[in-house]
Structure formats: C-alpha cells, structure tokens
Amino acid sequence: MLDVLRGKTAFPPPVWMMRQAGRYLPEYRETRKRAGSFLDLCYNPDLAVEVTLQPIRRFGFDASILFSDILVVPHALGRDLHFEEGRGPLMTPLEVAEIDGLETERFHVNLSPIYETVRRLRADLPDETTLIGFCGAPWTVATYMIAGHGTPDQAPARLFAYRHPQAMRRLLKLLADQSAAYLIRQIDAGADVVQIFDSWSGVLDGAGFQASCVEPVAEIVRQVHAAHPDVPVVAFPKGAGSRYDGYRAATGAAALGLDWTVPLAQARCLQKDGAVQGNLDPQRLVAGGEALSEGIEAILDALGDGPLVFNLGHGITPETPIAHVEAMISQVRSARK
Ligand code: CP3
C-alpha cells in the first residue's frame, strides 16, 4: 500500500474500504452497544482498537483506518457534539463572534485517547497492514460546525462564506493549523499514511472550491510534510468532478481518493501523475452479483496498470451483506492481468 501511494504499481492492488469498521458488522454493533454512545466509542482506546481490528481479522484488508470521526476536531476545540441515532452529528451552530474564542489550549489533551488508540493499533496490527490516520478537511468540518447538523447541500456554510468572508478564512486557517497538528501527532503515534476527507467539496462554485477546499488542504499537506516529509497524504475531495484535474498538483497530495462518479477515463488521466484510490459505487456492493463483479472488473481493467488502491467511492452502507464484501475481496485478490 505504501509503495503504491508513492507511485508504484502492484497487481492485484491493495484493498481496504472506507467505513470498514461499521454497522454492517455484527461484532461492531455489539461493541458499539457496550460503549454507550458513538463518541464514547471514539474516545475509549480499548474499544476503538477493538472495532478498528474487527474488519482486519475478518477480511484481512491491506490497510486499517483508525476508528474515530472527523468531528472530534471541533469537539476538541470546545464545541459541543453528540450523535443521535438516525440523525447523525448534532452541534450548536457556530457564530461569527465565536471563531476567535475556539479553545486551542486543551486540543491535544482532549485528543490524547485517540493518539493512544493509534499507538496501540500500530503495536497490535500485523506489520504488513498499513495504518491510516485521518482528519476532515477544513471546509467539510466547517460545514457541520456552521449548520450544526448534516444538510443536503451545505447551504448554511456557503451562505456564511459569502456573508462573512474574512471570518470564514480565519475559521478555515484555524482548522487547517489544528488539523495538521492533529495529523502530525497521529503520525508520531504510528500512523503510516494520513487521509484528508473533504466529503462536501462538491457543493462549492469555482472560486469557493479554490479558497475553501484547495488552499486549506494544501496548507495541511505543507505542514504535515514539514514534520514528516516521507509520509504520503491521501486527499479525498468527494464530488470535485472536473476539479479533480489539477487538484493533486495544487494541494501536494500524494494520492487522490476518487468518488464513484469519476469516470474511469478521467481516473486514468489522474493516475498519470500518481496513485488513485477508489472508486466502486457502494451501492454495487449492496447489490452484489453482476453489478458488483462488473464494477470491480471495470476498475481493475482501467486502472490496474498504474498505481491503484482498490476502495469504494464512499463509505460502506449499513445494509451491505457481508458475503458481498467477501466476494469483492476475493475477486480483487484473484485478479490476473
Ligand atoms: O472509515 C472508517 O472506518 C474510519 C472511521 C470513520 C468514521 N467517520 C466512523 C463513523 C471515518 C473516516 C469517518 C469520517 C467522517 N465522519 C466523514 C468523512 C467521510 C464521509 O463519510 O463522507 C464525515 C462527513 C463524518 C461525519 C459523520 N459521522 C456523519 C455525517 C455521521 C452519520 C452518518 C452515519 O453513517 O451514521 C457519522 C457517524 C459515524 N462515523 C459512524 C461511523 C462508523 C456511524 C456511527 C454509528 O455507529 O452509529
């Protein structure tokens, strides 16, 4: 996986899944019940290690992603946060006047259980399993801080950026600085790779994409590389469409996570400049059968000759049958050119 992220070709490609520890697994649901709330699970190193390892034990993925959430960053900055069954994350909407009062002093103390989870994971995982640390991109994190909950198109954050451009810039810069420090600590604790999730980069106009997605992510990559020049950074600007072109060069990301809407012809062009990761539609994994096998084959055919990390184009959904995950892994692993 590390070689591939640095630009080498491996076939069959390494494989893992976004949200590979999650509700589609009975052992996850059981541990989640024991933890109490979702956030209790994120901040409990014993249980967070356990759920991170569950999909590795069951499926033997090539990479393991720290179990946590992107919203622990605003939580560690003093914002309230809880997760409600069926509603997702809930926060008190951030106001302009509160930006300069975000509390950075206790940031790493608040996140120390997560660093502990990373340390234990690196010790417990097989040597050949790559450990991925992560954070949310400043824009995506800001959308939840501003709206206080998920929305279909992040209209509240877009409006906030138009009405208060300077405040938005300060917020994104603060989130970039804190997120970079957070990733650096994860690498110090044992993460081999870090990924930046920009799940809402697809809702911005051209100028907004440049200012709110490209520049803050580039800032994080700069700071991570200043501390750890050899650690690859994967960036996932979900929904970026034609703006994937040029994004790698503009941000310094080593590898691009591709959502399922990226056509494979475009993915091939993007792969000329380095590794790509993705991009099976998670609904193909729910459907199984030919929809699944054809989707996998198309990706391997189009991208198998270059640096590819096989993955979904977004997270696995709770209703996905485990047998379909097994079928996906076995098809990828048995592929021959
Ligand atoms: O990929 C992994 O296995 C690592 C763990 C991980 C989670 N969230 C666990 C989680 C990662 C990398 C994330 C990132 C994340 N969190 C993103 C970016 C990626 C993406 O999915 O677009 C975003 C936008 C969030 C915020 C978030 N967390 C939302 C909107 C929700 C609710 C939606 C849902 O699926 O319930 C969460 C909750 C969440 N984060 C769950 C998990 C396993 C489900 C919680 C549960 O057990 O009930």
Domains assigned to the chain: 2-334 (3.20.20.210)
CA of 39 from ligand 1 middle (Å) equals 11
What separation in angstroms does the CA of 249 have from each of 153, 167, 188, 276? 27, 27, 26, 14
Give me the pLDDT at residue 337, please.
Answer: 83
Q: Is 36 in the pocket of ligand 1 (CB under 6 A)?
A: no
How many C-beta atoms lie closer than 10 Å to residue 239's C-beta? Answer: 17
Return the best residue to mutate from 37, 59, 64, 70 for the ligand 1 pocket (most ligand atoms within 8 A of CB).
70
Please tell me what DSSP assigns to residue 104: -
From start to end of the chain, where are the E strands? Answer: 63-65, 82-84, 88-90, 130-136, 193-198, 233-237, 255-257, 275-280, 308-312
Whether 188 is a known active-site residue: answer: no
* pLDDT tens readout for residues 242-295: 999 999 999 999 999 999 999 999 999 999 999 999 999 999 999 999 999 999
CA 91 to CA 279: how far, in whole Å?
31
Give me the pLDDT at residue 200, please.
Answer: 98
Residue 41, phi-psi category: left (phi > 0), alpha (psi -120 to 50), beta (remainder): alpha
Tell me the pLDDT of the chain averaged across its residues.
97
pTM above 0.95, yes or no: yes
Give residue 124's identity as a one-letter amino acid code.
D
Beta sheet of 255-257, edge-to-edge order: 63-65, 130-136, 193-198, 233-237, 255-257, 275-280, 308-312
Give me the pLDDT at residue 117, please.
Answer: 98
Give me the pLDDT at residue 86, please.
Answer: 81
Whether 19 is a known active-site residue: answer: yes
Give me the pLDDT at residue 93, please.
Answer: 98
Residues of the chain with pLDDT under 70: none
CA of 174 from ligand 1 middle (Å) equals 22
